């Protein structure tokens, strides 16, 4: 395609996006001269350029629109519902032609436009006297506006997304090279400061490139005013849309990915959430429903909420429907809390719409929203109060290119397992593996807290024969799109933030890997696709096992997940919510202030707790030791451990005969285990003074 | 054989007086790859095998921030596995959507650059079996023996997966 035409298409689309936004705002403020001028300008620009490029159909359509808009701008006409609807149709018509040009290079069939052009003409010729209010609007607001826009245009630049992706790759490469340089011990004077500088520059560059991929959520939000307007008219409802946190930024590809789930949620909120005006009036509510779309950043995630003040969801209906559809047994349903029952609407094949409308309720429903959001590593939750309204909460990771993963080993090879699907890890010694993995014909099973968990042996699945399996194994308990199973692996390495690289079509065809990655140490790992593995071995949907944590462990909200570690021959537990990361460092990196072992991490000092005396043992300076970094109130502390054993949920114990919870111990895997109290780790200052 | 004809005409059109070929050895055979088509030669790079991959895939190699798929010429020829780490020739791959990527070809050893002349070229002999005909683009008659011409485009893993399926 001609560069000139491509540029024209991009610019016109931008103009039409602005036009759409202005038109929906115009409904509330039909007198706003600035808005009218903006709409006029968008159409006028298209018309001007099309004549020059020879797009006759576009020219005819935009010409008809321009006439009407001219009258509006000059105050000879008043914008009303009819006019705005016609202008929105004009917008759709223009968009359709632009799309046709983009796809086929031609404008498509011109006969479709006659109706719209006719309507625009009739509206323009309708005798509607210019009102006094309109005549006073002679301020040349239209001439002032463009300056603002050109200012923004000068400081921004369009960049091809492919180029950005390439830059991202190169930055990833630079990070690896930097890691290798930092590891290389070079005695040359002046090398260390240079390496540190390279380290800093690389980190900054990486951040800058990541930022370049970010776009404000307003790019997606901006299409909703129109959608809400059209839908509520279509359904005979009244709805007002409020947008919040529009400046919140998200990776471009993620923004694209949440467009559909969000649209679906908004449709749902208007169709099923907000009641008809008369129903609302009868309930003593404002006949106009309120729909709020809000985005905010929370740590490494962006939370997008869709809130309506509609009728809410009656939990009993959800429960009855789920039982009727055999998605859950009545016994199981009786054990679930209201909140857990609500989450059942995300199950495939669940739709409570009493009547099928053409807006939603066609059997595909919230499960699509969940699948789409989970595909990009996000989570979705629903909250509802009958009569008060419903909130749908999407939690989206900030960037897609980098995902947290656990590196697992199978027959000497590394594989990356996305953390999002990993629920817990069970370690079995060789003896335990032989006695506790049970077989039903040829299906291996493991009793996880009394329930049978189907197992998949990764080495057998991949037909790996190269190296012998070690003694003992781990079971990674996974939940991929509602398919729950245990993946049996030989060993674990550290969790790592990995950069996802695409695989060649040939290797994607194997159907078990979603990509590959280069780890911090320069080695490569294939990224496992837990959903595809489940499908391959025929793991079924386990509807009852939704939220396995919430159902089996009602106190999970109060943080009873623990990391089980071994330190000095003794097992101890650390509350998982306090753990920031697990690091493997060479012994030589540990320094001492007085008696206190400390670690320098990115310019700050980390106090180390060496309860097991691992640091005092004789050992090679290059030997790797494991440090668990925890949060204790406002400070961070490191705890040295011999090894990380497992993640398990603990049962709080009470002192016999009392209701007092024992805070320093917990029941973990049927054993009473001590909980390390990070508060007891002394402050650095105290130690230095004491020493 | 359309492809062979293409390669021939390209070779002939490229240079009047001689074509520079990078000689590579696999087993007992000397092969030649037009030097202009090679992006880079990696000396025994670290390789990651891919379980369940088609037999001709040698593994994955980390190259300039990308992960490229390496095809093993040895395995394509049905020879026993490499005894020492193979060298890798990196080529540019064009996928259907016009984006550029890379792929690699694993060979036993990379030798010197030879200048061959068009007059010495001959197409594949009709007696060569079909599988080999699909891989080789012809041969140059050198003083010391034959230099089997390879056309990199035929070793793009995506191409190979299609041609292997049709066989």
Q: Identify from B67, B90, B156 which residue to disrupt to test chain A contact, counting A C-beta atoms within 10 A and taking the largest count.
A: B67
> Which of chain A's residues have a Cβ under 8 Å away from the Cβ of B54?
506
Q: Name residue, tokens 């099923």.
A: A272
Minimal C-alpha gap between A461 and chain B (Å): 9
User: Which of the 8 DSSP states describes residue A501?
Assistant: B
pLDDT of residue A359: 46
Q: Calculate the alpha carbon distances from A530 to A501, A512, B102 in Å.
A: 17, 8, 27
Minimal C-alpha gap between B41 and chain A (Å): 18
Question: What does the block give as tokens for A372?
Answer: 């789409």
**CATH code reported for the domain at B2-166:** 2.40.50.180
> Which of A342, A344, A371, A343 has the alpha carbon at shortest distance from A264?
A371
Residues A638 and A613 in one domain: yes
Nearby residues of A288 by Cβ (< 8 Å), 6 or more positions away:
A238, A239, A240, A277, A280
Instruction: Kindly state the percentage of chain A with pLDDT values over 70.
Output: 81
Residues A645 and A595 in one domain: yes
Q: d(Cα A612, Cα A618) in Å, to the nearest integer?
A: 13
> Which of A145, A122, A115, A22 has the alpha carbon at shortest distance from A71?
A122
Q: Is the pLDDT of residue A130 over 50?
A: no
Q: d(Cα B167, Cα B155) in Å, to the nearest integer?
A: 15
Minimal C-alpha gap between A115 and chain B (Å): 38
Q: What is the mean pLDDT of residues A519-541?
A: 83
Cβ contact (<8 Å) for A506 and B67? no
Q: Is the pLDDT of residue B138 over 70?
A: yes
Q: d(Cα A358, Cα B126) in Å, to the nearest integer?
A: 65
We report the CATH number of the domain holding residue A389 as 3.30.565.10
Residues A544 and A451 in one domain: yes
Nearest-Cα residue of chain B relative to residue A518: B62
pLDDT of residue A1: 60
Q: What is the mean pLDDT of residues A481-508?
A: 83
Residues of chain B in Cβ contact (below 8 Å) with chain A: 46, 48-54, 57, 60, 62, 64-69, 95, 99, 101, 103, 157-158, 160-161
DSSP output for B20-61: EEEEEEETTEEEEEEGGG--EEESS---B--TT--TTEEEEE
> Which of B131, B122, B121 has the alpha carbon at shortest distance from B55?
B131
Residues A50 and A186 in one domain: no
Per-residue pLDDT tens for B90-111? 998 876 544 457 899 999 999 9
The ipTM assigned to this model is 0.83
Q: What is the mean pLDDT of residues A289-304?
A: 86
Under DSSP, is residue A106 helix (H, G, I), strand (E, B) or coil? coil
Q: Is the pLDDT of residue B70 over 90?
A: yes
Cβ contact (<8 Å) for B67 and A503? yes
Residues A198 and A132 in one domain: no
Contact A480, A370 (CB under 8 A): no
CB nearest to B67's CB, from A510, A512, A516: A516
Q: d(Cα A215, Cα A195) in Å, to the nearest integer?
A: 33
Task: Identify the band that residue A417 occupies on the pLDDT scale cut at 50, 70 and 90.
Answer: very high
Nearest-Cα residue of chain A relative to residue B49: A413
pLDDT of residue A458: 92
Q: Calculate the alpha carbon distances from A440 to A341, A443, A463 in Å.
A: 32, 5, 21
Choose the most confident range, by mean pLDDT, from A301-305, A341-345, A367-371. Answer: A301-305
Minimal C-alpha gap between B121 and chain A (Å): 33
CB pairs under 8 A between A and B: 74
> Which of chain A's residues have a Cβ under 8 Å away from the Cβ of B92?
none
Residues A63 and A48 in one domain: yes
Cβ contact (<8 Å) for B160 and A516? no
Q: Is the pLDDT of residue A558 over 50?
A: no
Cβ contact (<8 Å) for B67 and A413? no
Cβ contact (<8 Å) for B64 and A509? no
Q: Is the pLDDT of residue B1 over 60?
A: no
Cβ contact (<8 Å) for A510 and B62? no
Residues A387 and A468 in one domain: no
Question: What does the block give as tokens for A219?
Answer: 């790019």
Q: Is the pLDDT of residue A551 over 50?
A: no
Last residue of a domain, one of A138, A155, A172: A155
Task: Identify the band that residue B42 occupies on the pLDDT scale cut at 50, 70 and 90.
Answer: very high
pLDDT of residue B18: 79
Per-residue pLDDT tens for A71-86? 887 777 787 878 888 8
Instruction: Kindly state the percentage of chain A with pLDDT values over 90.
Output: 8
State the residue range of the domain holding A64: 3-155
pTM: predicted TM-score of the whole model, two decimal places: 0.53
Q: Identify from A504, A525, A532 which residue to disrupt to test chain B contact, counting B C-beta atoms within 10 A and taking the largest count.
A: A504
Q: Identify from A507, A509, A521, A527 which residue to disrupt to test chain B contact, counting B C-beta atoms within 10 A and taking the largest count.
A: A507
Minimal C-alpha gap between B65 and chain A (Å): 5
We report the CATH number of the domain holding residue A49 as 1.20.120.160
Q: What is the mean pLDDT of residues A229-258?
A: 88
Q: Residue B41 class from Cβ within 10 Å (0-12 exposed, 13-18 middle, 19+ buried)?
A: middle
The total number of structural domains that make up chain A: 5
Q: Identify from A503, A506, A517, A525 which residue to disrupt to test chain B contact, counting B C-beta atoms within 10 A and taking the largest count.
A: A506
Q: Is the pLDDT of residue A249 over 90?
A: no
Q: Of how many residues is chain A composed?
A: 691
> Which of chain A's residues have a Cβ under 8 Å away from the Cβ of B158?
504-506
CB nearest to B51's CB, from A463, A502, A522: A463
Task: Identify the band that residue A19 occupies on the pLDDT scale cut at 50, 70 and 90.
Answer: confident
Q: d(Cα B94, Cα A324) in Å, to the nearest integer?
A: 53
Dihedral class, residue A441 (left if φ above 0, else alpha if ψ from -120 to 50, else beta): left
Cβ contact (<8 Å) for A510 and B65? no
**C-beta atoms surrounding A218 within 10 Å:** 15
Minimal C-alpha gap between A499 and chain B (Å): 10
SS (H, E, C) A513-548: EEEEEECCCCCEEEEECHHHHHHHHCCCCCHHHCCH
Q: Is the pLDDT of residue A269 over 60?
A: yes
pLDDT of residue B149: 92
Q: Residue A63 class from Cβ within 10 Å (0-12 exposed, 13-18 middle, 19+ buried)?
A: middle
Q: d(Cα B140, Cα A417) in Å, to the nearest integer?
A: 50
Residues A641 and A529 in one domain: no
Q: d(Cα A210, Cα A187) in Å, to the nearest integer?
A: 34
Which residues does residue A301 pair with via DSSP β-bridges, in sequence order? A298, A397
We report the CATH number of the domain holding residue A667 as 2.40.50.180
Cβ contact (<8 Å) for A501 and B157? no
Residues A530 and A559 in one domain: no
Per-residue pLDDT tens for A83-119? 888 888 888 888 888 888 888 777 777 667 777 788 8
For chain B, which residues make up each domain, given as ranges? 2-166
Per-residue pLDDT tens for A176-202? 777 777 766 666 667 777 777 887 888
> Which of chain A's residues have a Cβ under 8 Å away from the Cβ of B68?
504
pLDDT of residue B4: 46
Q: Is the pLDDT of residue A136 over 60?
A: no
pLDDT of residue B61: 92
Question: What does the block give as tokens for A287?
Answer: 């006949």
Q: Name residue, tokens 């409308």.
A: A357
Per-residue pLDDT tens for A374-394? 777 778 888 888 888 899 999
DSSP output for A250-287: EEHHHHHHHHHHHHHHHHHIIIIISPPHHHHHHTTS-S
pLDDT of residue A542: 60
Cβ contact (<8 Å) for B66 and A523? no
Q: d(Cα B145, Cα B129) in Å, to the nearest integer?
A: 20
Cβ contact (<8 Å) for A522 and B62? yes
Nearest-Cα residue of chain A relative to residue B47: A524
pLDDT of residue B107: 94
């Amino acid at each position: 395609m001609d560069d000139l035409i491509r540029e024209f298409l991009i610019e016109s689309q931008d103009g039409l996006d602005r036009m759409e936004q202005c038109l929906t705002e115009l409904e509330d403020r039909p007198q706003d001269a600035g808005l009218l001028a903006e709409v006029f300008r968008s159409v006028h620009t298209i018309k001007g350029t099309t004549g020059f490029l020879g797009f006759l159909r576009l020219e005819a359509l935009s010409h008809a629109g321009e006439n009407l808009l001219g009258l509006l701008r000059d105050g000879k006409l008043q914008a009303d519902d009819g006019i705005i609807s016609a202008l929105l149709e004009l917008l759709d018509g223009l968009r359709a032609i632009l799309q046709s040009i983009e796809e086929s290079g031609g404008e498509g069939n011109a006969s479709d436009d006659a109706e719209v052009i006719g309507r625009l003409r009739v509206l323009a010729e309708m005798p509607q006297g210019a009102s006094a209010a309109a005549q006073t609007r002679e301020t040349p607001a239209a001439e002032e506006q463009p300056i603002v826009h050109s200012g923004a245009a000068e400081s921004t630049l369009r960049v091809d997304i492919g180029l950005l992706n390439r830059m991202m790759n190169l930055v990833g490469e630079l990070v690896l090279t930097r890691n290798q340089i930092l590891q290389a011990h070079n005695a040359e004077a002046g090398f260390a400061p240079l390496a540190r500088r390279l380290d800093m520059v690389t980190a900054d560059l990486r951040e800058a490139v990541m930022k370049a991929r970010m776009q404000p959520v307003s790019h997606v939000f901006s299409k909703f005013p129109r959608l809400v307007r059209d839908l509520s008219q279509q359904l005979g409802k009244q709805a007002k849309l409020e947008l919040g946190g529009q400046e919140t930024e998200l990776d471009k590809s993620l923004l694209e990915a949440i467009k559909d789930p969000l649209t679906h949620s908004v449709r749902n909120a208007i169709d099923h959430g907000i009641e008809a005006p008369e129903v609302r009036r009868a309930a003593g509510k404002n006949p106009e429903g309120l729909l709020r779309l809000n985005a905010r950043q929370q740590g490494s995630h962006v939370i997008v909420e869709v809130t309506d003040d509609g009728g809410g969801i009656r939990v009993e209906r959800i429960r009855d429907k789920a039982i009727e559809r055999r998605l859950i047994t009545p016994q199981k349903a009786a054990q679930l809390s209201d909140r857990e029952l609500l989450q059942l609407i995300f199950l495939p094949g669940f739709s409570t719409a009493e009547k099928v409308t053409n807006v939603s309720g066609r059997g595909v429903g919230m499960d699509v929203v969940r699948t789409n959001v989970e595909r990009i590593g996000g989570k979705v939750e629903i909250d509802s109060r009958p009569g008060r309204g419903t909130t749908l909460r999407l939690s989206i990771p900030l960037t897609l290119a980098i995902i947290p993963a656990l590196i697992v080993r199978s027959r000497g090879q590394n594989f990356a397992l996305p953390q999002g699907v990993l629920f817990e890890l069970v370690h079995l010694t060789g003896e335990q593996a032989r006695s506790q993995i049970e077989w039903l014909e040829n299906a291996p099973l493991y009793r996880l807290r009394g329930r049978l968990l189907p197992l998949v042996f990764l080495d057998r699945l991949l037909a790996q024969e190269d190296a012998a399996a070690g003694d003992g194994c781990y079971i990674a308990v996974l939940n991929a799109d509602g398919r729950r199973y245990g993946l049996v692996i030989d060993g674990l390495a550290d969790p790592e933030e990995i950069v996802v690289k695409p695989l060649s079509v040939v290797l994607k065809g194997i159907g078990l890997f979603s990509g590959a990655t280069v780890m911090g140490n320069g080695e490569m790992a294939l990224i496992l696709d837990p959903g595809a593995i489940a499908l391959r071995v025929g793991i079924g949907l386990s509807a009852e096992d939704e939220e396995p944590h919430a159902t089996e462990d009602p106190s999970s909200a109060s943080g009873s997940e623990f990391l089980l570690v071994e330190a000095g021959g003794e097992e101890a537990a650390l509350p998982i919510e306090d753990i920031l990361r697990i690091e493997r460092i060479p012994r030589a990196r540990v320094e001492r202030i007085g008696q206190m072992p400390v670690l320098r991490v990115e310019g700050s000092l980390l106090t180390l707790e060496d309860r097991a005396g691992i640091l005092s043992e004789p050992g090679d300076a290059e030997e790797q030791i494991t440090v668990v970094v925890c949060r204790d109130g406002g400070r961070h502390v490191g705890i040295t451990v011999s090894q990380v054993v497992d993640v398990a949920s603990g049962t709080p114990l009470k002192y016999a005969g009392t209701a007092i919870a024992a805070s320093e111990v917990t029941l973990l895997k049927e054993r009473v285990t001590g909980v390390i109290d990070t508060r007891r780790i002394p402050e650095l200052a105290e130690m230095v003074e004491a020493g | 054989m359309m492809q062979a004809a293409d390669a021939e005409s390209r070779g002939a059109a490229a240079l009047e007086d001689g074509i520079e070929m990078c000689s590579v050895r696999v087993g007992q055979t000397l092969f030649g790859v037009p030097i202009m088509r090679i992006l880079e030669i990696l000396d025994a790079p670290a390789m990651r095998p891919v379980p369940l991959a088609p037999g001709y895939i040698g593994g994955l190699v980390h190259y300039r921030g990308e992960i490229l798929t390496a095809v093993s010429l040895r395995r394509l020829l049905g020879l026993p596995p490499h005894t020492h780490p193979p060298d890798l020739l990196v080529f540019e791959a064009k996928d259907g959507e016009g984006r550029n990527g890379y792929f690699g070809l694993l060979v036993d050893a990379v030798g010197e650059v030879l200048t061959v002349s068009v007059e010495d070229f001959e197409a594949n002999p009709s007696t060569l079996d079909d599988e080999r005909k699909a891989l080789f683009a012809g041969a140059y008659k050198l003083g010391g023996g034959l230099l089997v011409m390879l056309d990199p485009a035929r070793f793009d893993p995506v191409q190979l997966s299609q041609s292997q399926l049709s066989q």
